[in-house]
Amino acid sequence: MTPEPDIRSKLLFHLQEVLAEDQLITAEEELRPYECDGLSAYKKLPIAIVLPETIEQVQQVMRICSRLFVPVVARGAGTGLSGGAMPHEGGIILGLSRFNKILEIDVDNQMARVQPGVTNLSITQAVRQYGLYYAPDPSSQIACSIGGNVAENSGGVHCLKYGLTVHNVLEVQMITVSGDRVTLGSAALDNPGYDLLGLITGSEGMLGIIVEVRVRLLPRPEKVNVILAAFNKTEHAAAAVAAIIADGIIPAGLEMMDKLAIQAAEDFARAGYPTDAEAILLCELDGSQAEVNEQSYLVKRQLKLKSASTITEADTPEQQARLWAGRKSAFPAVGRISPDYYCMDGTIPRHQIGHVLHRIHVLSQQFGLRVANVFHAGDGNLHPLILYDANIAGELEKAEQFGAEILKLSVDVGGTITGEHGVGNEKLDQMCYQFNDNELQFFHLVKEAFDPDQILNPGKAVPTLHRCAELGQMHVHHGKLPHPELPRF
């Protein structure tokens, strides 16, 4: 869909009126770096990239695009993994990278006001001197922007105890499609009216442009302990996860890796992982010295009861960093053992982990593709990495089909197709599986209330009913298969 030539020229004329020369990019070779986000399988070139520096400029850009019906795709750091920031061919990319200032650190109220292009990690770095930190910590935290985090409701390894982005953002300044500026939320602990802050979080750039964020900060815990447990059977590791939670403990982080992921990570990061184990669990506990001691005792007891073969503890920051290094570099590590990999993101109820890992194993054999599992076990958020080679004809399609099967499985066991990476451009078909027409229609109504002309990130996040009908797949809802007795492969 290329716009009318005169729309294009009108657009560029109006944009250059409100932007400085270096804020408007139209040369093809300079557009290239923006053709995709972290999911490079999908690429498109926009008409232009705009890089505003003031909120007024964002408002003007929105007014121009609304008037001309030109699609606008917001972009933070472009690390998204579902094609959310992939350009629209007939539209512009609104890059927020120049909004990179920390505006205010309020130590007494434990909050900070920041611009949307500020990276996740730089918030924590800026407030460290006050003994504070920003809790959600996606593995991409050195690069991803806080605006992108809000738009995706990003998680990290510490969400189990400290919540997702939605639990750690107090207020957002948003520019509506018509260029109005609205404040959602406040510096207080609750707010009157509709929870539009909650609604905007995770809305993938579909409802408005986030131009300022007030985040909640937490005091650094007095004591941290990291426990590494190895298992000879994946089911035992899965059972240990449920047992720890059932014992009344909420660890700060509870991560699991399977054999292939352990070996790749160990080769890459030399974290000291036992490479002969079928699975490992990394459990981080934090709080006061006394609380951590008590909890460590209880966790170790559960690990032993569930037949952990070895248990190691790291109680200095250096040892802990080493153990985490393996987990945090798992994606690039897997990237070294396979030409390509495809990362899935379903969430399932914890008690289904053993069953689902087993099913993934069976599917892996059926598709003839290897899978490395590395994931947030504590909150049931799986990241199976499907290994494939895009240079072999048909392998990408096979990987995509395999991925789709895993997501359906996640829905069938009572979970969801995406825990933190978003629907974007990638999981539109799987949305048809998780939601029925009435539900999708309801989402479209919300979109229409904010953006009646489909200017913001059109075509993403929620599939049209038409697309789902075309897909023509048997509709399964909330894990209730029409014919559960039939093999579904």
Ligand X SMILES: Cc1cc2nc3c(=O)[nH]c(=O)nc-3n(C[C@H](O)[C@H](O)[C@H](O)COP(=O)(O)OP(=O)(O)OC[C@H]3O[C@@H](n4cnc5c(N)ncnc54)[C@H](O)[C@@H]3O)c2cc1C
- List interacting residues with ligand X (CB under 6 A): 37-38, 73-81, 84-85, 96, 116, 138-140, 144-145, 147-149, 151-152, 154-156, 204-205, 209-210, 331, 420-421, 457
Q: Is 454 in the site for other proteins (CB under 8 A)?
A: no
DSSP secondary structure code for residue 71 in this structure: -
End-to-end Cα spacing for the chain: 36
Choose among ligand X, other proteins, none what residue 147 binds, the Cβ cut-off being 5 to 8 Å by kind: ligand X
Identify which of 423, 411, 403 has the alpha carbon closest to the alpha carbon of residue 475.
Answer: 411
> 392: how many CB neighbours lie within 10 A of its CB?
11
Tokens of 19: 């932007």
Closer CB to ligand X, 113 or 421, in the complex: 421
Instruction: Say what the alpha-carbon torsion angle 114, 194, 136, 206 is, to the nearest 10 degrees.
Output: -80
Q: Which of 368, 442, 469, 470 binds other proteins (CB under 8 A)?
A: 442
Q: Which of 33, 219, 332, 368 binds other proteins (CB under 8 A)?
A: 219
Stretch in the footprint of other proteins (CB under 8 A) among 28-36, 71-79, 303-311, 378-386: 378-386
Closer CB to other proteins, 317 or 368, in the complex: 317
Choose among other proteins, ligand X, none what residue 331 binds, the Cβ cut-off being 5 to 8 Å by kind: ligand X
Q: How many residues bind other proteins (CB under 8 A)?
A: 93
∠ CA 92-93-96 to the nearest 5 degrees?
A: 140
Least Cβ distance, residue 204 to other proteins (angstroms) = 8
Identify which of 398, 464, 402 has the alpha carbon closest to the alpha carbon of residue 431.
Answer: 464
- Bridge-partner residues for 185, per DSSP? 171
Q: Which of 159, 224, 271, 314 binds other proteins (CB under 8 A)?
A: 159
Choose among ligand X, other proteins, none what residue 71 binds, the Cβ cut-off being 5 to 8 Å by kind: none
CB 406 within 8 Å of CB 346: yes
Q: Is 114 in the site for other proteins (CB under 8 A)?
A: no
Q: Is 296 in the site for other proteins (CB under 8 A)?
A: no
Choose among ligand X, other proteins, none what residue 139 binds, the Cβ cut-off being 5 to 8 Å by kind: ligand X
Least Cβ distance, residue 450 to ligand X (angstroms) = 12
CB 380 within 8 Å of CB 414: no
Least Cβ distance, residue 177 to other proteins (angstroms) = 11
Phi and psi (nearest 5°) for 291? -65, -45
Region 227-256 residues binding other proteins, contact defined as CB under 8 A: 242-243, 245-246, 248-250
Q: Is 469 in the site for other proteins (CB under 8 A)?
A: no
> 215: how many CB neighbours lie within 10 A of its CB?
25
- If you write DSSP's letter for every residue of 314-365 in order, what string do you get? E-SHHHHHHHHHHHHTHHHHHHHHSSEEEE---B--GGGHHHHHHHHHHHHH
Least Cβ distance, residue 42 to other proteins (angstroms) = 18
Q: Number of helices (H) and strands (E) in the chain: give both, helices first.
A: 18, 18
Closer CB to ligand X, 210 or 372, in the complex: 210
Region 187-206 residues binding other proteins, contact defined as CB under 8 A: 187-196, 198-199, 201-203, 206
Q: Which of 97, 183, 309, 320 binds other proteins (CB under 8 A)?
A: 183
CA 410 to chain centre: 17
CA atoms of 40 and 47, how far apart (whole Å): 19
Q: Is 421 in the site for other proteins (CB under 8 A)?
A: yes
Least Cβ distance, residue 153 to ligand X (angstroms) = 8
Closer CB to ligand X, 80 or 354, in the complex: 80
Instruction: Give the type of residue at 185.
Output: G
CA atoms of 440 and 434, how far apart (whole Å): 10
Identify which of 349, 347, 339 has the alpha carbon closest to the alpha carbon of residue 369.
Answer: 339
Region 321-360 residues binding other proteins, contact defined as CB under 8 A: 347-351
Least Cβ distance, residue 146 to ligand X (angstroms) = 8
